[in-house]
Amino acid sequence: MTVALVALALLLLLTVALPTLRRLWAFVWFAIKHHFIWLLALRLPPAQRPDRARVLRRMCEDLGPTFIKFGQIVASSSGIFPDRYVREFQKCLDHVRPFAFADVQRILIEELGAERARGLVLEEKPLASASIAQVHGARLPDGTSVVVKVQRPGLAGRIAADMKIMRLVASLLERFTRDAELVNPVGIVDDFAATLGEELDFRLEAKNQDRWNEVMAAQGYSDARAPIPRHELTTPRVLVMERFSGVRIDDVAKVHASGVDAEERLIHGLRAWFQAVVFHGFFHGDVHAGNLMLLDDGALGFLDFGIVGRFDDRQRRLVTDYIVAFATADYAGLARVIVEMGGVREGLDQAAFAKDLAGAYSPLLKLSFAELNYADLIPELHRVSTRHRMKMPREFVLITKQMLYFDRYAKLLAPKLNIFTDPRIVMSLAADVAKIRAAEG
């Protein structure tokens, strides 16, 4: 009995002293809590029961930003996850449970000082609330309308603890689960940790917004812009910026009611995004529906530059070659690019690899997005990667993620469009590639 009490006391002391252990206990607690909520709900009449997807989404919200990020992946992966989960987890994009307005005011004073914080006249109800921060409308002393992005309290320590737990789980998966190394779970966690680390410093996000606007201006896109930040009012935890007026790109009814040609706008936005990749090696790396707006003047507004992609010259060339080979159904070329990216083992049967890539990817070039069934496509891609021991290169994963976002918008706004075969996109792509090759000599 004495030994048991000592062990319990030691466990309590360690739990208090070690943030990672506290987070582990929190995960166990919330998992048990929401499991019991679900069991109790089964006693209710079917019409009153909360959907399982709703219970899981609330558990992710309780666990905090790391798990809300997972929810955002689900929300933007139509066809991979069941529709009811996709719809429910779309609340993780910008309708996460808000934190108290008193905390917002406290953080503003801590970051900006009392005098400058008082100069911001904030709307108490948030415009949006997401995993890392929430956004409030405000007015500057001169009456200018802005938005204020305020980071959630206590994030840094919680995320650091979550990353330790996730890294441990990833290591165990890679060691003991068959073919797990092909997914590279440890690498995914490390990339995730690095990305979250950048997202926690809003000064970097403000610089990314400036860079995006510079890139768009260089490419002649005055109508694909990021909010202009107020650097004098921006700190690691507070970002004050221009306020956009418009509708989310996935609000189909309002987009069509605006009178704008939705398909043309979608193609225009994709071209702007792609040219940022191939000409500048810089692009928005998280174009989910909460981060893309159709503005009142018909322009496209890109929001939330916490996640961006940066490619060096070699990576830009490889990504360009990848997309060109894919768009032209050159599967032998596609196989060569993946090999050069380092995604497959040595001694690969490249002809067989190219043939399997053709079987997996050709539906993307033959069908409209409305006709595609990702529930069939994704497992086939997994079978190809397993058969040839292929790891998905990070460059490919980041680019593909954005293409899946654009896919979702195409299904909503222009279901007959196929962005890989549409002549307006293909001809633009060919011209861009020609310019790049000419510049390379």
Please answer whether residues 136 and 150 qualify as being in contact, where contact means their C-beta atoms are separated by less than 8 angstroms: yes
> Looking at 162, 250, 286, 407, which residue is catalytic?
286
DSSP label of 285: S
Question: Is 286 among the residues known to form the active site?
Answer: yes
Q: What angle do CA 211, 214, 217 make, to 5 degrees?
A: 150
Which tokens is 162 given? 């979550």
DSSP one-letter code for 338? H
Beta strand pairing call for 300-302 and 224-225: parallel
For residue 149, give the H/E element and its range: strand 145-151
Long-range contacts of 83-87 (CB under 8 A, 24+ apart): 84/51, 84/53, 85/53, 85/56, 87/53
| Residue that the structure tokens 């507004």 belong to | 301
* Distance between CA atoms of residues 207 and 188, nearest Å: 25
> Position of tokens 């802005």?
146
Q: For residue 248, what are its two tokens?
A: 């989310």
223 Cβ neighbours under 8 A, 6+ residues apart? 268, 297, 298, 299, 300
Chain centroid to CA 439: 32
Single-letter amino acid code for the residue at 300: L
Q: What residues have CB less than 8 Å from 338, skipping those under 6 apart?
A: 322, 344, 353, 357, 390, 393, 396
Secondary structure element (H or E) that encloses residue 400, with its range: helix 394-413
Backbone φ and ψ of 4, nearest 5°:
-65, -40
Angle, CA of 174, 178 and 183, to the nearest 5°: 55
CA–CA gap between residue 270 and residue 198 (Å, rounded): 25
Give me the phi and psi of 342, to 5 degrees please.
90, 25
258-to-19, 64, 223, 299, 411 alpha-carbon distances in Å: 50, 36, 16, 12, 19
Q: Which residues are catalytic?
A: 286
